[in-house]
């Protein structure tokens, strides 16, 4: 456990100091973004991942940056292995590197966050990571009206569904919407129409007996009975204005598709709303499609309507994951599981 904590501390420190030449790799020409290019990509050719970065790569991506087929492949392989990179978007960054470190810890490899030959051998399957999917009626039925930002307007709805078929498919396959669109130019998105999606694999199975919410690394880690790391997820954990709790708290229950009670006197101020509001359920609700309730009042582990911002903006004290990561974790926890806030 001390070796693990040291490795996590080293990576957390490394994520704050990048030499200037590392940014130059972002301008290296990459193959066209097609399913074939991603399926045949060589993840060993990602130069920046041979050593941990020295500082976070700016999430405000320059306009001339494009998704890298090799990074897409790496993200899908990590997702399959239980080391979530968050949104599969084809861009290198902190969430990818934290996932590499988590994968090393899962496999008992030296935890240095580097994509070295030993890690490559354990991670690479050789099979395709982008596959065909035929759109079904349920995909279209999940679409609703555009979601207003104002909570008072949201409270007038019955359900906060997806705003588009692209959003629905992207979330189902753990993808960024722009990546889905880039892989499917001119797609009609009708029932029966084939689209290319990330073949991320089935949800993990297992029984989680302990969870760590690491504030410094901004990651949630789930452990089994033998203290083996089962899964790791990038997370937004509180903010300077609304810090998350400290110490150990207990999972008290799991609520899929939860309503959200907005109370500005307890939570935070949203817009000009000063009254208590009940926000309806849905993947685009304030807490997404899953709520894992903690013994600390008003705090929980939950999903989000904006998965691309995980670990890039602060939360209101809670632990925010992508909807799919929150759903997967919820299936593996029961009431009584301790959640340790560390870092």
pLDDT digits over 184-213, tens only? 998 989 999 999 999 888 889 999 999 999
Q: What is the pLDDT of residues 291-309, one digit of tens each?
A: 999 998 888 999 999 999 8
Catalytic residue chosen out of the listed positions 174, 249, 302, 316: 302
Report, in angstroms and rounded to the nearest whole number, the Rg of the chain calculated over CA atoms.
Answer: 20
Q: Which helix (H) or strand (E) holds 341?
A: strand 338-342
Residues 6+ positions from 233 with CB-CB distance below 8 Å: 84, 86, 219, 220, 221, 222, 321, 322, 325, 329
pLDDT of residue 113: 83
Does residue 174 carry a catalytic annotation? no
Provide the b/e sequence for 269-278 (b: ≥16 CB within 10 Å): ebeebeeebe
pLDDT value for 115: 86
- pLDDT of res. 1: 58
CA distance 90 to 49: 13
In the prediction, which pLDDT does 30 show? 55
pLDDT in tens, the chain (343 residues): 555 554 554 444 344 333 222 323 333 455 679 999 999 999 987 755 544 444 444 444 444 468 999 999 999 999 999 999 999 999 988 899 999 999 999 999 998 888 888 999 999 999 999 999 999 999 998 898 889 999 999 999 999 999 999 999 999 999 999 999 999 998 989 999 999 999 888 889 999 999 999 998 999 999 999 999 999 999 999 755 566 778 999 999 999 999 999 888 877 788 888 899 999 999 999 999 999 999 988 889 999 999 998 976 555 558 999 999 999 999 999 999 999 999 8
Return the pLDDT at 47.
59
Domains and CATH numbers, the chain: 2-123 (no CATH), 130-198 (no CATH), 210-342 (2.40.440.10)
pLDDT at 62: 44
CA atoms of 328 and 80, how far apart (whole Å): 12
The confidence score (pLDDT) of residue 319 equals 93
Does the annotation count 17 as an active-site position? no
Catalytic one among 174, 249, 316, 318?
318
Other C-beta atoms lying within 10 Å of the C-beta of residue 87: 26
Question: What is the C-alpha separation between 186 and 205, in angstroms, rounded?
Answer: 37
| Coil, strand or helix at 24 | helix
- Sign of the dihedral defined by the CA atoms of residues 25, 26, 31, 34, in that order: positive
Distance (Å, whole) CA 277 – CA 155: 6
As a whole-number percent, the residues of the chain with pLDDT over 90 amount to 62
- Encode pLDDT of 11-26 as tens digits: 443 443 332 223 233 3
Task: Specify whether the backbone of 300 is left (phi greater than 0), alpha (psi in -120 to 50) or beta.
Answer: beta
Which residues are paired to 213 by β-bridges?
220, 341
203, two tokens = 């949800």
If you count them, how many residues does the chain have?
Answer: 343
């Amino acid at each position: 456990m001390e070796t693990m904590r040291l490795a996590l501390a080293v990576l957390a420190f490394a994520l704050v100091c990048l030499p200037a030449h590392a940014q130059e790799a972002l301008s290296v020409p990459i193959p066209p973004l097609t399913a074939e290019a991603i399926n045949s990509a060589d993840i060993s050719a990602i130069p920046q991942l041979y050593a941990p970065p020295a500082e976070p790569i700016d999430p405000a991506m320059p306009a001339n940056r494009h998704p890298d087929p090799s990074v897409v492949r790496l993200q899908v392989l990590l997702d399959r292995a239980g080391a979530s990179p968050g949104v599969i978007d084809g861009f290198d960054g902190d969430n990818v590197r934290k996932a590499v470190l988590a994968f090393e810890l899962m496999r008992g490899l030296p935890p240095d966050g580097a994509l070295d030959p030993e890690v490559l051998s354990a991670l690479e399957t050789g099979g395709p990571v982008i596959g065909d999917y035929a759109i079904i009626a349920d995909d279209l039925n999940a679409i609703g009206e555009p979601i207003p930002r104002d909570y008072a307007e949201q409270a007038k709805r019955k359900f906060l569904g997806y705003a588009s078929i692209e959003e629905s498919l992207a979330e189902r396959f753990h993808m960024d919407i722009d990546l889905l669109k880039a892989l499917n130019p001119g797609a009609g998105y009708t029932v029966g129409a084939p689209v290319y999606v990330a073949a991320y694999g089935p949800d993990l199975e297992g029984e989680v007996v302990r969870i760590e919410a690491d504030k410094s690394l901004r990651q949630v880690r789930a452990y089994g009975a033998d203290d083996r790391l089962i899964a790791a997820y990038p997370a937004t954990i509180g903010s300077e204005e609304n810090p998350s709790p400290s110490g150990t708290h207990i999972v008290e229950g799991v609520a899929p598709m939860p309503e959200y009670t907005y109370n500005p006197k307890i939570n935070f101020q949203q817009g000009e709303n000063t009254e208590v509001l009940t926000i309806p359920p849905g993947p685009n609700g304030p807490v997404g499609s899953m709520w894992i309730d903690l013994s600390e009042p008003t705090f929980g582990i939950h999903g989000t309507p904006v998965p691309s911002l995980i670990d890039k903006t602060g939360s209101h004290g809670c632990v925010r994951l992508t909807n799919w990561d929150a759903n997967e974790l919820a299936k593996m926890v029961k009431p009584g599981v301790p959640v340790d806030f560390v870092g």
